[in-house]
Structure 1
Amino acid sequence: MVWKLPLHESGHPENELTAESDGAVIRRTVLPGGVRVVSEQLPGQRSASIGAWVNVGSRDEQSGHFGSTHFLEHLLFKGTKRRSAMDIAEAFDAVGGEANAVTGKENTCYYARVLDTDLPMAVDVISDMITSATIDPAELETERGVILEELAMNDDDPGDVVHEQFSAAVLKGHDLGRPIGGTPDTINAVPREAVWEHYQEHYQPETLVFTAAGNIDHDVLCADISQALKVGGWDLTPGVAPRARRDTTPIVGLGQESVEMTIHRSVEQANVIIGSTGITATDDRRFQLSVLTAILGGGMSSRMFQEIRERRGLAYSTYCFGSSHVGTGTFGLYAGCTPARIDEVTELMVGELEKMADSGITPAELERTIGQLSGSLVLGLEDSGSRMNRLGRAELVTGELYSVDESLKRIREVTAQEVQVLAQELASRPRSIVRVGPFGS
């Protein structure tokens, strides 16, 4: 079953979804103001995961606001009109819960996992953070230092550097190519006024989505969210439609040229990624891509792992990945190896992709990978946090929610020919390569 998630105003009958999937009850409601609530009730659980999603990411930042999205992720934990930073921290520590946030290129999520009886508290605190952050100037300056330390920590990790620079190379010229957390220059430059403007513009009812999974009563959850947002001063006007999802039209002109980049780091092991643009987040071939990446470099039995690590002993870690966004994506082959072997390892990785494009995959590989992906999907959904994230992605990105059975069906329907055709397309695209290691000075 595939459920459509339309964006009508609150009260519209098509916005009231009730469905059952593998024993769970999924419900969706659009509240006044355009706030969306999607929940999945899981029988027998004593916990609940909840996420408040704001449909803004680093790609949405304008000049002068660069780094504001990640800045806000930190600052919303630093105090509201009703709570200090310590109050927010103590609220979750006192019940043995956990709360955190994550900034992406296309959205920001504030989430928590608590006992089911503590869900009203989690809703109240997260809603307070969303609606009533003070963005205190002194706290902002303190957090500026924290973020600079975070960026420095990431810059010390060659694995982080190679992935970030690969994205920048392939998506060169587009906002998606910029680093999510900003750069030291942009973080030092962004003023409090710009962060406040970014907050006021994007943290609005029509951009907000709550998703929850666990032992949840949907009607109670909706009532708690409505009350908390009103306490926060938001005007939940009836009849307002949620903000439209991003335009899914593929972005043209990206990855048309090969970029070669070598970054010096005084480390023992070199890191390399070679690849190209991938497929978009809404591309119907995303199940074929999952099979392709799993066979090529997704586990111990994958081709890259077997050839590069097991047979030749040239790397400890090597894998293939696809990262999808609305309108574009990236596809890459990664390895970490001795600097003197980096060209040899790169040639082997590309060789495995080209073999797949030329000769396809075997029936045994396809059967094994379908089992691998099916098991990973089902086991991953044992966690309420994974289910909460699945709901958020469906609501914000695709506008479709697949049942578990439908997802398993789509995986089983992937054919060897489809995988080969996709491999041919990816192998034919201009390749960019990024190396990080003790090269030059």
Structure 2
Amino acid sequence: MIFHNTQLENGLQIIAELNPHAHSVAIGYFVRTGARDEVMPVSGVSHFLEHMAFKGNEKYSADDVNRIFDEIGANYNASTSEEITLYYGSFLPEYIGTAMELLSTLIYPTLRQDDFDIEKKVILEEIGMYDDLHSFTAYEKVMQAHFQGHPLGQSILGSVQSITDLTSEQMRAYHAKQYMAGNITLAIAGNADWDQILELVHQFCDVWPAGSTDRPTDEAKPTPGAQIITEKPIQQQHIMQLAPAPAAKDPLRLAAELLSVIIGDDSNSRMFWTLVDPGLAESAELGFNEYDGSGTWLTYLCSDPELTQSNLKLIQQIYNEVNTNSITQEELDRAKNKIASRLVLRSERPMGRLSSLGGNWVYRQEYVSVEDDLKLLNGVTLDAIRELLKKYPLGHSTTAAVGPMANVIVD
């Protein structure tokens, strides 16, 4: 692997992990903008812009963009989170010039009014579709409650009202502010030539406007609370709970990732053997999410409503035991092996490396190779786990419940 990085005069950062033995190349534009960077009148605009990107520009229509991506056999898409909008594709190395031009087109689309009006209907349909997904509703509600008054509590999709009221002028103003070159990182992984990459970047990106926007990253201080949403027609109860956890730049984040696997992975974790394997719950998981300045433990439970209260008590018993007595060396070693395997298997494809490559740079301005990842992972000790639990104990400060139960008791 050969790592390169540089920065254009306008602020665009370019990083590349090149592997001449790979059979493909993956490219991603990581735009440091998402739901947390919006104000309420334009809630959902980042995700809306992701859709509008594929409508093309003066040179390429929406049909052109999708047709040409298909012609070169690319695997391409985009995603929006609370903090990053990502435009990416993977393809054969001989098509890097075409792919770079199309992906660069996505960053500065024309944002035509006709396209805006059509896509607004698509976004509203998408909001309706996700409203029917009860686990998603629980996630939206628990994020809003946990991060009340903090930008991370803002919805990625927005609301029917905010999208209905959004104008194309508001979208263009948001795009002009957030899509400056200094807010963007271009990441490349796989089989490519660095000199060719630079030539293409200068060709397509030199004209992008310079500048960047600030993002407040104060750690959230959640107020404990619960939201109960009663949905009588459904058969299962969905519970989501959040508690503070390490932020993206906190060295304890690796310990948190390991602990989440030990306690709440979807196989061979404490929660799996206590709740899922005996048939007490369909799902019982603990996840760790890191953000700029904040982080969360996310507990998810899906079970028969009649078992919800007893299942929540079992989860809390697990958390109390771990908070008091930590974990065993055997559990830590097993989790290290599990995560190491996932890291290595994912890294064997350029597309699998792209997310890690870009994420590390956007959040921490650092390059971490697979070998570095494995060393950092193996360096996590039981002392680090104990330090983590002292600072960020497992538990819940916020709960959202969706299902037939009119009341959920959270101890």
Are the counterparts in 1 of residues 266 and 284 from structure 2 also a CA contact under 8 Å? Answer: no
2:258 corresponds to: 291
2:244 corresponds to 1:277 = yes
Once the two structures are superposed, the pairs formed by residues 276-425 of structure 1 within 5 Å of their partners are 276-310=243-277, 312-425=278-391
Once the two structures are superposed, the pairs formed by residues 210-289 of structure 1 within 5 Å of their partners are 210-230=186-206, 233-234=207-208, 243=212, 246=215, 250-252=218-220, 254-255=221-222, 257-265=223-231, 266-289=233-256
Deviation readout 1:36-75 (Å, 9 max, x if unpaired): 1111112322211101122111111124322211111001
Q: Aligned match of 1:124 in 84, 92, 101?
A: 101
Helix, strand or coil at the partner of 1:287: helix
Helix, strand or coil at the partner of 1:77: helix
2:122 corresponds to 1:146 = yes
Are the counterparts in 1 of residues 20 and 192 from structure 2 also a CA contact under 8 Å? Answer: no
1:88 corresponds to: 65
Are the counterparts in 2 of residues 128 and 229 from structure 1 also a CA contact under 8 Å? Answer: no
Are the counterparts in 2 of residues 268 and 438 from structure 1 also a CA contact under 8 Å? Answer: yes
Q: Give 1:86 shift.
A: 0.1
- Measure, in 2, the Cα distance between the counterparts of 1:243 and 1:397: 15
Q: Percent identity?
A: 28
Helix, strand or coil at the partner of 1:43: coil
Q: Give 1:389 shift.
A: 1.4
Deviation readout 1:344-400 (Å, 9 max, x if unpaired): 111111111111011111121112111112111111211212211122112211112
Are the counterparts in 2 of residues 276 and 332 from structure 1 also a CA contact under 8 Å? Answer: yes
Helix, strand or coil at the partner of 1:118: helix
Match of 2:251, as an amino acid?
Answer: D
1:62 corresponds to: 39
2:5 corresponds to 1:28 = yes
168-177 or 407-416, which deviates more: 407-416
Deviation readout 1:293-350 (Å, 9 max, x if unpaired): 011011421100001122x321122110111110112112211100111111111111
Helix, strand or coil at the partner of 2:241: strand
Helix, strand or coil at the partner of 1:140: helix
- Measure, in 2, the Cα distance between the counterparts of 1:274 and 1:136: 41
- Measure, in 1, the Cα distance between the counterparts of 2:340 and 2:162: 42
2:179 corresponds to: 203
Match of 1:32, as an amino acid?
Answer: E
Unaligned residue ranges in structure 1 (runs of 5+) = 1-23
Helix, strand or coil at the partner of 1:314: coil
Q: Aligned match of 1:103 in 80, 83, 90?
A: 80
TM normalised by structure 1 equals 0.88
Q: Give 1:428 shift.
A: 7.1
Q: Give 1:128 shift.
A: 2.0
Once the two structures are superposed, the pairs formed by residues 123-202 of structure 1 within 5 Å of their partners are 123-131=100-108, 133-202=109-178
Are the counterparts in 2 of residues 357 and 421 from structure 1 also a CA contact under 8 Å? Answer: no
Helix, strand or coil at the partner of 2:87: strand
Deviation readout 1:131-184 (Å, 9 max, x if unpaired): 3x1211111111111011111111111111112222112111111101111111
Cα gap change, 1:212 to 1:307, in 2 (>3 Å): same
- Measure, in 2, the Cα distance between the counterparts of 1:420 and 1:316: 30
RMSD across aligned positions (CA): 1.9
Q: Give 1:244 shift.
A: 7.5
Unaligned residue ranges in structure 2 (runs of 5+) = none
2:30 corresponds to 1:50 = no
Q: How many residues align?
A: 406
Q: Give 1:405 shift.
A: 2.1
- Measure, in 2, the Cα distance between the counterparts of 1:114 and 1:93: 10
Helix, strand or coil at the partner of 1:427: coil
Helix, strand or coil at the partner of 1:56: coil
Cα gap change, 1:213 to 1:245, in 2 (>3 Å): farther
- Measure, in 1, the Cα distance between the counterparts of 2:237 and 2:368: 40
Deviation readout 1:276-301 (Å, 9 max, x if unpaired): 12211111101110111011011421
Are the counterparts in 2 of residues 154 and 160 from structure 1 also a CA contact under 8 Å? Answer: yes
- Measure, in 2, the Cα distance between the counterparts of 1:46 and 1:124: 21
Cα gap change, 1:428 to 1:409, in 2 (>3 Å): closer
Helix, strand or coil at the partner of 1:33: coil
